[in-house]
Amino acid sequence: MAWEEFPQFDSSNIQAIRYDPDQMLLEVTFKNGGIYEYFDVDARVIEEFKASDTMGGFLAKRIKGHYRYSKV
């Protein structure tokens, strides 16, 4: 896997975000220790995610409920 780390960001709930474009796999690590993988996320959505004002807001509106996921 060739992970791309998101640039530094501030979030009250999210600790880290990374994306594997080859697998179209988004991984979100929460500050409470939970790690979730979201499958088949298009690179265009990832670019919008990186540019969003709030990581948590984007995750809630555009990722959760729209993509298959698994808790790691």
Contact 6, 16 (CB under 8 A): yes
Query: How many domains would you assign to the chain?
Result: 1
| Short-list 58, 39, 16, 56, CA closest to 6 | 16
Indicate the DSSP class of residue 53.
S
Q: Which structural domain, as residue segments, surrounds residue 34?
A: 4-71
**For residue range 3-40, what is the model confidence (pLDDT) as tens digits?**
999 988 899 999 999 999 999 999 999 999 999 999 99
pLDDT at 1 over 90: no
Contact 50, 7 (CB under 8 A): yes
Q: What gap in Å lies between CA 51 and CA 29, rounded to an integer?
A: 18
pLDDT at 32: 97
pLDDT at 65: 97
Contact 67, 38 (CB under 8 A): yes
pLDDT at 51: 94
